[in-house]
Amino acid sequence: MAKTKLFTADEKMKIVNEFLSSDISAKKLAEKYNIKQTCTIYQWQNRYITSGISGLFDQKRGRKFNIDKQNNFENIKQELNFLRKEMQNKNKENRELINKVEIMEKFTASLVKDLKKQKINIEFIK
């Protein structure tokens, strides 16, 4: 069994333009370019008319990728990026709070030390 020739988009466009601009039948063009079925030329013509040159590029075959899955994947990626940024902001806030607590602890410790030097007894409420 002979392998079917695959035509490039440029070759398809050349054939479609020849078909549209001349009085040559689809059957004669199919014979000229070794195309097995004349309906192929009509399909290329319809795709060219509806989508332009981009319609003549080979279509992917097989199971179609579910658009909802792709959109869901994109949404998950966006949410992950948002959560990463939010986590970075929270970590920054936590570092700032830890620094403030350390400053307050040092200040409190120095106050207690000064009060002890002045012999003032302070009881802390726990």
pLDDT 10s digits, 69-103: 777 788 888 888 888 999 999 999 999 999 999 99
Give the sign of the dihedral formed by CA 106, CA 107, CA 113, CA 116: negative
CA 81 vs CA 40, 45, 102: distances in Å: 47, 45, 32
Structure tokens at 53: 């040159």
> Taking 50 as the threshold, does the pLDDT of residue 1 lie above it?
no
CA 12 vs CA 2, 35, 59: distances in Å: 20, 11, 13
What is the spatial distance between Cα 124 and Cα 126, in angstroms, rounded to a whole number? 6
Query: Does residue 124 come out as left (phi exceeding 0), alpha (psi in the -120 to 50 range) or beta?
Result: beta
What pLDDT does residue 93 have? Answer: 93
pLDDT 10s digits, 46-75: 988 888 888 888 777 777 666 667 777 888
Query: Helix and strand tally (H, E) in the chain?
Result: 4, 0
Indicate the burial class of 19 (C-beta count within 10 angstroms; 0-12, 13-18, 19 or more): buried
What pLDDT does residue 103 have? Answer: 94
Q: Which residue has the tokens 């802390």?
A: 124
Q: What is the pLDDT averaged over residues 34-53?
A: 89
Q: Indicate the average pLDDT of the chain.
A: 84
Q: Of 51, 58, 50, nearest to 12 (Cα)?
A: 58
Q: Write the DSSP symbol of residue 109.
A: H
